[in-house]
Structure 1
Amino acid sequence: MSKYKIAIVDDEQDVRERLESMILKSPTAFELVGVFDNGIDAYEGITGKDIDLLITDIRIPYIDGIELSRKLKSSDPFIKIIIITGYDQFDYAKQAIELEVIGFISKPILQKELDKALQKAHDRISTDYNVSSVIQELSEFRKENLPVLVENDLCLLLQMDKPEASFIDKLKKEGVHLRFDHLCIGVFDFDIRDDKTDFDKLDLAFLTLKNQLEQAFKKYDFELFKRSQLFVLILKSLQPFSNVEILKFLDTEIKRIKRYLNLSMSVGISNPFTIEGSFKKHFRDARASLEQRRFLGSNQVFFCSDLAQKENLLILDRDAFKNLSYVIRYEGLKEIKKELDYLFEIAKDGVYHYTLTEVLNTIISNCEEPEKLIKDGINLNQIHLNLLEHKTKESVYNYFIELILAVKGVNQSLQTDVVGKNLDKILKYIETNFSDQNLNLEMASDQIGLSPSYISALLKNEKNTTFVKYVTQLRMEKAKELLKKQSLKIIEVAEMVGYYEPYYFSHCFKKYEGKSPKEFKKDES
């Protein structure tokens, strides 16, 4: 029997100790990994730890058990929750149902009642993990939901600047409706590719995603299909899209696939557009937004609006040159050489020089700022002239490799600049607004114009912290400065740094500094 992770929260020490003892005696296989006496410590201690089950009292300090459950569900939608309460209040029960709480146990807690609740939780968690039990069902689902004609036409749509009305009508007859006021494209790409790819798992990931879209994401119409090893999502709506809603759903689903199928994938989301817009351009933009993986990490949702993009980027239509463009931007030297080898292989005597010129154009077109390639006053025309100086195939090949590496260096430098500017914007916003008690990640996202996942990833990668921890650290350091001023009361300091509940401020300060505000103020006097 699998051993799943469990945490408990109760402000009464005897209840916590009794629960610990009873969990150890229970026949169900749970590993107790966290014991907390208040909601704030529980939230900070559990978030990001992939806890399978939380048992919490409703009446706990700072944030109650319902609010704690809501916060944890927001960051980990897979966590199961059991509520302990001695209170029989309808309002609590109603909120608990909305949070999909799987059970209640009342005080005083009995071993038999706890065992029953733990067994129910264990069965529910096991069902989530037991993907193999539904493989046959999903295999049948795949056969019924992969009409080849529709998939081919949707792939063709991604190559069109503006689809003709007759093609739109053709898709409509096939059951694909595109005449919506708002469209956007999402591209799902696996973060790791190798020669040992499990294609059955890829199919299962696709079907899991499609099933979840149909069952749980009903606000928008959609089309989901495969394009090589990419999954492509076209979202359709009569109302403007909400990036927050899209992020919340897609982030949950890629984490579901990673957790239960052990496949890591990221998603790039284009800017919204209408049917009059270019499907080709927005598909390209969605793929380009995935470039942020190199700086912000994998298994995330990236929005095109977060990525500074060059306009009028030339991408050649023929597949071989498209592939070269893609590997220049997103892959390493090994994949680049594969594409160059193929182009050199297919180049015939009659079109040899034309092919080399097209390769050179493709390389330059994928540089965000071609001017930065220039050295010693040589203009872009000189780069083309330099090609003529290379007389052998090997010499030309090495020239292309050198130029491609220079292009990737320029692009990476520019992207690093964008990351730095956005980080400065985030930090300045927090430093300006840390005294607002309502400050949170969603508020910052709305005001700064960057998605919540992008902000979180930047802080994690550049500062090795989270939004909440950075705000708390800033508030605590500012509080220390203010507490040194003997004329200010502790309650005044609390309000000045964003805490309108002085007891909560004292709890946070003591946890951060190791002493209470009163003790700190006395030591500094």
Structure 2
Amino acid sequence: MNRVVIIDDEIQSRNGIAEIFRNHSPQWEIGGLFEDGSQALEYLLQHPEINLIVTDIRMPKFDGLELISRIRQYNKLIPIIIISGYSEFSYAKKAVDYQVFRYIVKPILPSEFDAVITSVENFFRLEDDPFNEYNLTSSEFDQFLDLLFSESVSLNKSQTIHILEKQCGFSFQGAWFLLIAGNHEFNNQIDSYRTLIQNFASEISPEHHVFLFHEKIYCIILQKTNIDYDAFKRYMQKFIWKFSSDLFVHTGIYHSCNNDTLKNAFFSALSTLTQFFYSKTSVHIYQDQKLCDFPYSVYKNLQLQLTNGNLLNIRDEIYSFMDYIRVKQPSYYELHSWINKITHIIIQYCNDKKVPSSYYIDYTENLQFLYNFYCLEDIENTLLAMIDNIFEKIAEQTNSTNTFLVEQVQNYLSDHISENLTLSDLGDVFGINYSSLSNIFSSTTGQTIIEYLTFIRMQRAKELLINTNKKIYEICSDIGYSEPKYFIKRFHQIVGVTPKEYRKIYTK
């Protein structure tokens, strides 16, 4: 029995998808129908037997992409189908990053979705039978193995690795790992290169398989004896010449030991591939690397500048951090650790400032995986963009908060205009240092609190002079002045005539 969970904030859509599953086969059971991601995540954590997820993108609380992100933290392999009314590239790109099974744009015909369910069932059968006996297309078979490979190198589960080796027909221990990557343009058309890369691998050894890791990197794993790094370097160099130079295709070569785990072998090859960060040579072979000292001075300076809130100085520290990386050329593991430390203090700063995670989460998730970048400039630009976005949002929040505070101060002054108010009094009322309050008020309005208070007092005095018969000393008291002579002097300075003359002019 297969169990599916369906998440969509539209009840008709949820029920419609559930009906398609029921009509497809009695082997499908609806595990749950949910209107938002938070409900579904809570259910999924308690029901690990669920083996398919169908979700919309835009929903209350947190959306489908955030739900998928959280699911992938504990389950890398479960098939996920996105059904959405949004076909924007950014959504599709995220879906690829999270390795969803299908991204389907609404509306979809029941017959079309029925075919997708059949593909899912074929995936399930493959775990028990490596042979194509279920009308599974070649691309579906490749996609399944790609997902299985990503699961294997991430979690290093022996059972999953055994299934993968069974599918491929050879052991990965003592194998060669050849990684191939390129720039963003290469990634945009990466699926089109699979046949070319498979043909290349078959020319070297019949015992081989080509995996596509997270839609970013091709990994050729093959068994071949009586060959060394230099020979493979020549093979790869000739192969890379087949690609356009503006794709910046580059490779990393690693020969695993007999006691290597799949995870260690793959990430050793990945560390070799990322040497392209430091040298634009297209072919890199594995070499042991020395440990580098972490740039603690830059780290501490960045913490200090974040505390001071100086954006330009923070950007300078990011530049210093990246310059240090270019000089020291840390390994993949060290670079990954360093960037995690930098992003951690930025996140800590955001938490202290109560900045919503939505302002930086896309950047930090991207920075968790260095294979998302093909050069250091990409990493640098992502860090800078994250900082700029955070400070832009903080400025928006601050301006909004300051505007609200100023409005409250203005209302309070109007309501208490007859009182002898001081800046210290206002600071106590609003729970803020009077100097800070004064700075916020003047930067928001362009005038000081005293200037604004004087302005509204004079406006109120004009109204009372015209609309009442009150004496000048009474009006003086009503608007907060204790000395009539001082009030008359200030009124004359601002209005140009005395209160008595003003009343005479406007009450004729």
**What TM-score does the superposition give when structure 2 sets the normalisation length?**
0.37
Max Rg structure: 2
Query: Larger relative CO (CA 8 A, sep 6+): 1 or 2?
Result: 1
